[in-house]
Amino acid sequence: MNELLLVILAYFIGSIPTAVWISKSQFNIDIRDYGSGNAGATNTFRVLGARWGTTVMIIDMLKGLAAVKLALLMPYYVQNDFARTNFQIGLGLAAVLGHIFPIWAEFRGGKGVATLFGLVLAISPITALGCIGVFLLVLFFTRFVSLSSILASLAFPVFILVIFNVDNDAYRIFAIAVALLVILTHQKNITRLLRGSESKAPIFKGRDRRRERRLNDDF
């Protein structure tokens, strides 16, 4: 019963609609009425800019991290590493479910990528840093938040199964499931990327302008 209560609490934490509350309190709009219609960091970057997109991303990551840390409230999981990891995965997934279907925002949320990152950060910080490194590298060169999220999620099972070879079947299955989930929730983004119509995040614009000036000078 205690585990069930913590899973429910994790869902409530994940349900905090960061992008919706920020868009309403700071701009008097509902972020879901603009852009892609998602209440996540990617759409916030696109509609409200880098400052608020970054804020939403960080808070949504903290939701996943906080949900996972609920396992430490039970002594059994503090003392048993294997059981703790499995329970933390369950708590994190409950938070991700809350982010995608938030009870505080008419069950219309985001895609859960940042919350997933928070989950991984809490369970395996080194793996999370590797995924974040992939995310930032792709974002720097492309300015596509969606592409950065997709490639970072694909890097996750590579880290778990190949690079670190984690000896936990539940975690290995979870890593593969995360990659598949992110691809599934980003189908529209993938279509727009292939068509060349995906919007870029409003960051690194100074770099892009300098690049354009150099190209123009060359011609």
Neighbours of 93 (CB within 10 A): 25
What pLDDT score was predicted for residue 215?
42
What pLDDT score was predicted for residue 33?
96
The backbone torsions φ and ψ at residue 39, rounded to the nearest 5 degrees and listed phi first, read -100, 65
Q: Which string of DSSP letters, residue by residue, matches 84-96?
A: HHHHHHHHHHHHH
Q: How far, CA to CA in Å, does 162 sit from each of 11, 103, 155, 157, 213?
A: 31, 37, 10, 8, 42
Q: Which SS3 state, helix, strand or coil, does residue 97 take?
A: helix
Q: Which SS3 state, helix, strand or coil, does residue 50 take?
A: helix
pTM of the full structure: 0.84
DSSP at 74: S
pLDDT along the chain (219 residues), means of 10: 92 97 96 92 88 94 96 91 92 95 95 92 93 93 90 95 90 92 90 91 64 54
DSSP at 38: -
Q: How far, CA to CA in Å, does 187 sit from each of 28, 107, 181?
A: 29, 20, 10
Which one-letter amino acid corresponds to residue 114? A
DSSP at 159: I
70 and 82 Cβ atoms separated by less than 8 Å: no
CA–CA separation, 172 and 155 (whole Å): 13
